[in-house]
Amino acid sequence: MILSHLCTAQSDTIYWNDQYHLQWKDYRGKPNPSSSAVAFTAYDIVCKILKSQNEKQLIVEVSSIFLPDHSWHKNFFDSVLLEHEHLHFAIVELFARHLRMIITQKTYQSPLNLKKTLEKKYRHIMKKMDKYQDIYDTETNYSMNIIKQKQWKEKITSELNQLSQYSSRFMEIPLANE
């Protein structure tokens, strides 16, 4: 089972990595001429349920991905704007960690039970993330408010650190004894 917010090919993606910072060269999509935005970061959270060698557990992958071919900029190479866009990607990882935390805090009776819970929690997390992204853009005025931008960077970094135990994309999920 694969859950994805967007219906996109996943062969050309950048997975979240604390050590990698997005660069303008990663933005390879064609700019939207009707958009007033000077840059756009395309992202997703992708969930997969994988089989385990142990029949009493499943492996769940929850990945934060950046989509280079759907991300773009209008020949505007400002470092403040790039940091703003990178934080959009960091927010994706933040909500992926929330989803990982939620999924690992429950016992599942069967793979189907896990799948249904994952689908429900995924939809909920994606809605919350979209609202959070909108608030981030509004409060920072799309990177123009430098003070708010700095505050948001500190906030997101702190929240990521608080959820650092959920930074691994892969989780072993035990199934309850029937």
Map out the domains of the chain as residue ranges.
2-174
Per-residue pLDDT averaged across 83-88, rounded?
A: 98
Grade residue 69 by pLDDT with cuts at 50, 70 and 90: very high
Q: What is the CA radius of gyration of the chain?
A: 17
CB 62 within 8 A of CB 171: yes
Mean pLDDT, the chain, rounded, equals 93
Per-residue pLDDT averaged across 116-124, rounded?
A: 98
CA distance 130 to 40: 14
Report pLDDT for 138: 98
pLDDT at 74 over 70: yes
Per-residue pLDDT averaged across 87-116, rounded?
A: 97
CA distance 26 to 39: 12
Report pLDDT for 54: 85
pLDDT at 5 over 60: no
Grade residue 127 by pLDDT with cuts at 50, 70 and 90: very high
